[in-house]
Each structure stands twice: as structure tokens, then as C-alpha cells.
Copies of this chain bind each other. A is one copy, B any other.
């Protein structure tokens, strides 16, 4: 009946045909190839073609571009597409979108162009968008839509139903109606399903849920997303400081926030930014170089530690051969710990209440695996070099470094969080500093003491 995924709608074959049509400037073919696609499908095509073809494609589509397509685009691609549209086109698209989606597009524009687009919009819509843009980025105020069903608390179910029948601009995606007192303060909500099965003369206040969650417009979007997830919400009202109803956040907008949140942690831990994929090479190289510079400093520090043992390495060159193994095992074990810690901090499963137990468990895991890999590696070295003392030294260094990795892997993210630094961004670099330094120091140091 329907495809389960946009991947089935936009095949690599289709992308290639669109690219070929663009290369030959066959505008009509391009239009017909894209005609049957959903907004997500159009967005997927725009994201997959090269930048030059993308500009051509936008030029051909112009106003035929589904406005919903814009909100599905990656930020970097959206900026590029908006560059190709003039303010009249953008205003036409914004008019067809919900306030929150129009805001998501306008916030990407430079100040001057944003003003030009706003000037093209009808006064009421302009005012709504401007008041949303007045809230800081990534807050509930930016995410909420203002079109909702607001009902005075003295009405009956029958009056509410009649009101809904008369209001021709009632959106399809209304799931709850909101009840307010004469001062505009939120008194609760009624799911449409419940209203539908209630008799007309019943006062609406009799069937209202008074204890529904609500958020201030200044709330962080990620916290709003957690609230939706924890309470299984479909919509959530937004109120001002006095509890007056300002707007409503719908679950489909929250899905995008949740999706981006875990993705951001993943990308940050890998040392890349959220827009990396679609940025031009020079920009990508520059952004990534920052992270590589930090890592270079770490590597140089580790190398400085090795430099202190030049004498030992000159005498036993096997040390140089084996030392990266100790450092690398520490780095990998520590990465496992850091990954769990970062995610547990982000999801609220790791807090001050169980931090000590978490550190102790990780130290135990590090000690256990340290002993196992000490035995494995020690035995291998004895077999390889026929030197049981060298085997013992590498085994002891392995245990030291895996315990150090466990402690660093837990204490670094916990410490960063305590000082208000995002543990996803910086934990791994501090971690590898520790595991490299301790790895080389333990192995070469023990070798100096016991083998020379």
C-alpha cells in the first residue's frame, strides 16, 4: 500500500536520472521525475545531488518546490537552497507552513533577507513569526505552533462541538482542545476522542484533564523532548510566566529533536560537527582540523613520554615494537567506558546518586579484562621473544592501563559534566591522553626498572 521508507521512493537510479536530466538541461524531464515524490523524497534528492546540480534543480523547481521539502533538509543544504530563492519565493513557502516550520526556515536567513521575507508576509503571520523569533534558538518558544483550539472554561461539550463545526480554519492535526479561564490561564485539556463520546449538555470542565504537563516558552527543546518521551505525549501546551496559554508543541516536531539529539552525541564523540556531511571540502577540513590539532597535542605529549625512555628502547628494541599494543588496548577499553558514561549522563541514568557505584563497577571491569589480556599478551610475548620478564612487564603494564582507562573513562565525563562542559565533545581526547601516557609510562617505566 505504501513504501516503508524514503529509500524505496528515492532510488540511486532515480537520483542518477535526475542528475542526467539536469546535466542536459532537460527542465521538463526534471519536473516530471520529481512530480510524484513526497516532500521527504524531494529533500532526499536535493541532499544527494552535487551542489552545482542542486542549484540548477532549485532554479527549475522554484515555486513548484513543496514548502514541506525545505523543513526536511539538512541545515547546510537548506542554506544553499535558500540562497537560490528570492525573498518572494521564500515568503510564498513560509505562508503555506505552520508557524514553527516557517520559523525554522527564517532563522537560517541573514538578518536583512529575513526582514525582506517578513515584509512579504501578511501582518498576522508576520507578527506570529516575529514573536517566535524573539525566543532564543532551541527553546520551546521556537518549536511551538500558535494555531490551537482554545475554549472558555464555562462552555458545555455541545458549545465546543458547535464552535469546532463553525471554525473553518481548524487544522486537521488537532488532538486535544485546551480549556482556559477568563484570564487566559490554562486549566487543562480534553482529548478529542473523549469529547466525542460525551453528551452535549456536560460542562467541558467536567471532562478536562487538569494535571497535564506544560512547559514555559523558554524551556530547552531537549528537555521538552524528554518530557514527551517520558510521558508519551502527543502534544504539550506552552504557557507564559502567569500560566497563560501561548501555543502548543506537536509530537512530530519533537521527533526531529529526539532524532538529532542522539545523533549529535554520536557526531561529537567522533570529532565532527552536525553539518559535516554537506559542507564543502575546505570548510569540512577546517572544522575537523580543530579536533585534529587537539589530538596532535595529545600525541605529542605521549611521544614526549616515550622520549624519556630513549635509552631503554636503544637497549631493548622490542619495547618499541610492543609499546603501541599497551596504549591501544587502554584506548579501546577507555572508549567503551566513556561511551557508556556519556550516554548514561545524557539519558539521566548516571547521576550523583549512583556515580560512585558506576566508577567502582567500571574499575572492576577494567581490572578483570586487564588481568585476562595481561595473561594473553604476557604469554604471547614469552612465546614470541622467549623472555618471561618481558612478558611479565607487558602484563603488568596492561593491568595498570586498563584500570587507568576505567577510572579516566568514568571520572573525565563526570568531571566535565560537573563543570558544565558537554562530556560528548571532549571526553575522548582527555581519555586517550591518559591511556597513551599511562600506557607508555607503565610499560617503558617497568621495563627500565626490571629489565635493564
A contacts, CB < 8 Å to B: 1-2, 4-7, 10, 12-13, 15-16, 19, 38, 40, 44, 47-50, 72, 74, 161, 164-168, 170-175, 186, 191-199, 212-216, 219-220, 223-224, 226-234, 239, 243, 251-252, 254-256, 258-259, 261-263, 265-267, 269-272, 276-277, 281-282, 284-285, 288-289, 291-292, 295-296, 298-300, 302-303, 306-307, 310, 313-314, 317-325, 327-329, 332-333, 335-336, 338-340, 343-344, 347-354, 357, 361, 364-365, 368-369, 372-373, 376-377, 380, 432, 436, 440
A2, B215: Cβ atoms under 8 Å?
A: yes
A137–B268 CA distance with the chains assembled, in angstroms: 31
A230 and B270 in contact, given A191-B173, A193-B171, A321-B306 (Cβ under 8 angstroms):
no
Which residues of chain B are within 8 angstroms of A1 by Cβ–Cβ distance? 186, 213-214, 239, 243
Question: Shortest distance in angstroms between A24's beta carbon and chain B's nearest beta carbon?
Answer: 17
B299, A328: Cβ atoms under 8 Å?
A: yes
A–B Cβ pairs within 8 angstroms, 21 of them = A2-B214, A4-B220, A6-B226, A12-B352, A15-B351, A40-B231, A44-B348, A173-B234, A234-B234, A234-B252, A258-B258, A261-B262, A266-B266, A270-B335, A271-B335, A285-B369, A288-B365, A296-B373, A302-B325, A303-B322, A314-B314
A302, B324: Cβ atoms under 8 Å?
A: yes
Which residues of chain B are within 8 angstroms of A234 by Cβ–Cβ distance? 173, 175, 234, 251-252
Question: Shortest distance in angstroms between A93's beta carbon and chain B's nearest beta carbon?
Answer: 17
Which residues of chain B are within 8 angstroms of A276 by Cβ–Cβ distance? 336, 340
Question: Shortest distance in angstroms between A305's beta carbon and chain B's nearest beta carbon?
Answer: 9
A168–B193 CA distance with the chains assembled, in angstroms: 11
B368, A282: Cβ atoms under 8 Å?
A: yes
A44-B348, A323-B324, A324-B436 are known contacts; what are 9 more A-B pairs with Cβ within 8 Å?
A4-B215, A4-B216, A4-B219, A164-B197, A172-B194, A277-B344, A281-B361, A285-B365, A296-B376
Which residues of chain B are within 8 angstroms of A40 by Cβ–Cβ distance? 230-231
Which residues of chain B are within 8 angstroms of A333 by Cβ–Cβ distance? 288, 292
Taking a contact as CB atoms closer than 8 A, the residue among B212, B258, B322 that contacts A259 in the complex is: B258
A16 and B336 in contact, given A327-B324, A368-B282 (Cβ under 8 angstroms):
no
Which residues of chain B are within 8 angstroms of A168 by Cβ–Cβ distance? 197
In chain B, what residue has the closest Cβ to A227? B4
A196, B164: Cβ atoms under 8 Å?
A: yes
Which residues of chain B are within 8 angstroms of A215 by Cβ–Cβ distance? 2, 4
A16–B175 CA distance with the chains assembled, in angstroms: 40
